[in-house]
Structure 1
């Protein structure tokens, strides 16, 4: 397995970790989307939520490993990580605003730190 980047290609370890990250992110997203198909209060729904959390922790672990491998792999070919990071941050913010202003659910409020929510009883229905 190639551990160092060349001038024209990322190392095979970084390529593998990249695709593993993608697969984990797809699984994390699928868990939350498919959870809605299970009846509320069911074991399946609770298990999908737990799996979502577990897979999210796996993403974190893989990202930490990727940072370490990237640190040791040397210079990358024409890397522009800030562009991708800003795009992902923007998409995340756009999704949060979509939930808040278009779907009018309380997803955005539920993600705020404790004590930062507008009120304890806010459900989003007041905006309709």
Structure 2
């Protein structure tokens, strides 16, 4: 049985990590510029494109996850930690699949032109501004909650590595070969 995740799983994990950092960063930096300025618009368009990349890679991750058996944690986790870990993973997957979908739908129902990768994207012929506002609010709330979930994920990995001294973190790190 494997002791680490596959190369593809590790690569996808860290690519998603980099994209999530960049996606969050573009929105955080965007707020430093006045509305309507070219740089603010560029940051927003970059955010949309990066968000779509996160969605695309998360879909691939789901597919790839089904192809491999999860390597066991050694020493084995207590049952409650095993369930907590699985629940946290499900939340992370749901978050990074639903955030881009809500963002895309928010733009779609906004009724204004928008682009992704510098390509004009479809917009609803019947804009629904209350729905657009709801989707945007949910998107922003979930993104803010993401800071805590990502922090919990990171702290748990470090706790497993330095305190519990198991292979949880090692399983997802690139090989030293």
- Give the TM-score normalised by structure 2: 0.44
1:19-57 C-alpha deviation (Å, 9 max, x unpaired): 111100000000001111222211110111111011000
Q: Which runs of 5+ in 1 are unaligned?
A: 91-108, 115-128
Aligned residue number for residue 37 of structure 1: 32
Distance 1:25 1:82 in 2: 20
Distance 2:62 2:25 in 1: 25
- Kindly state the Cα deviation for residue 111 of structure 1 after the two structures are TM-superposed: 4.8
Question: CA 1:87–1:61 in 2, change beyond 3 Å: closer, same or farther?
Answer: closer
Distance 2:33 2:40 in 1: 5
Q: What pairs with 1:48-67 in structure 2 (closer than 5 Å)?
A: 48-67=43-62
Aligned residue number for residue 103 of structure 1: none
Match of 2:68 among 70, 73, 86: 73
Tell me whether 1:82 sits opposite 2:82 in the alignment: no
- Kindly state the Cα deviation for residue 110 of structure 1 after the two structures are TM-superposed: 6.9
- Kindly state the Cα deviation for residue 76 of structure 1 after the two structures are TM-superposed: 3.5
Match of 1:23 among 6, 18, 28: 18
TM superposition outliers: structure 1 runs of 4+ over 2 Å: 74-81, 83-90
Question: CA 1:24–1:111 in 2, change beyond 3 Å: closer, same or farther?
Answer: farther
Root mean square deviation, CA, Å: 2.9
Question: CA 1:89–1:74 in 2, change beyond 3 Å: closer, same or farther?
Answer: closer
Distance 1:87 1:26 in 2: 14
1:67-108 C-alpha deviation (Å, 9 max, x unpaired): 111111234324733224447989xxxxxxxxxxxxxxxxxx
Is contact 1:10–1:77 with CA below 8 Å preserved after alignment?
no
Match of 1:13 among 5, 8, 11: 8
